Amino acid sequence: MTHDRQDVNHPDHAQPKHQETEAEKKERKNHADENQDHALEETFPASDPVSPFVPAKAPD
């Protein structure tokens, strides 16, 4: 099972068995970028504008 690389407290987190090569690093980053792009497309379609955050007014 995989987990977030940043989650160093995860039970499956351990030192890598070998040093990551540049090709492996590039592939890992491309995969992460593709996943993020897909998630953004699913969450924020281009036809839907993103509204700015407007905080609620404090009650009187």
Q: How many CB atoms lie within 10 A of CB 17?
A: 5
Give the pLDDT of residue 18: 83
Give the pLDDT of residue 1: 46
Q: Taking the model in full, what pTM does it have?
A: 0.51
Q: Is 60 helix (H, G, I), strand (E, B) or coil?
A: coil
Closest CA to 46 of 54, 37, 55: 37
Task: Using 70 as the pLDDT threshold, list the residues of the chain that sit under it.
Answer: 1-3, 44-51
Q: What is the 3-state secondary structure (H, E, C) of 8-39?
A: CCCCCCCCCCCCCCHHHHHHHHHHHHHHHHHH
